[in-house]
Amino acid sequence: MKSTYSYNQFFITTNKDLLNLDVIEQFICHESYWGKGMTRDLVEKSIENSNVCFGLFDGNPQENSSAKQIGFARVITDFVRFAYLADVFVIKEYRGQGLSKWLIETIVSEPKLKGAAFHLTTRDAHSLYEKFGFRPIDQPENRMLRPLNIEQIYKAYKKATDN
């Protein structure tokens, strides 16, 4: 599934080959509250293992190699009932233009994702996601979570590359 969407001079593509890993790594590993300290290798693996990624660009990356990546999001899904939205961002200098709204609208409108139950974790963007049908979890006492253990992940990937 590779799609492209446009809004004024901005483009969203699901083509992973067009993503700028330098921009994604810089934001996730050095600027985000959720991914500080992650390595580029783990960012690359997370993209590789995600079902669909959405790159947000100023300019059309399919036609112009100088198009600038300005945002990103990825989805892990079974394309039927479940989808997890992660690593959503728009870089600082492009905020306030409605691009995060357009990015989320594009993601939740993607035909194979449209009806799936979306999950996400956010510390500060509740009002953005509420506009697109996200709400606090019903009956949280029925839900469980095994917390992230980044040290175990590093060990597993290091061991895999050592072999």
- Per-chain mean pLDDT for the chain: 92
| Token output for 163 | 């072999």
pLDDT in tens, 56-74: 999 999 998 899 999 999 9
First to last CA, the chain: 33
Please report the pLDDT score of residue 1 as a whole number.
61
pLDDT in tens, 86-125: 999 999 999 999 999 999 999 999 999 988 999 999 999 9
Please report the pLDDT score of residue 152 as a whole number.
85
Please report the pLDDT score of residue 147 as a whole number.
85
pLDDT in tens, 77-87: 999 999 999 99
Q: What element of type H or E holds 125? A: none
> pLDDT grade, residue 163 (50/70/90)?
low
| 12, burial (CB in 10 Å: exposed 0-12, middle 13-18, buried 19+) | buried
Residue percentage of the chain with pLDDT more than 70: 97
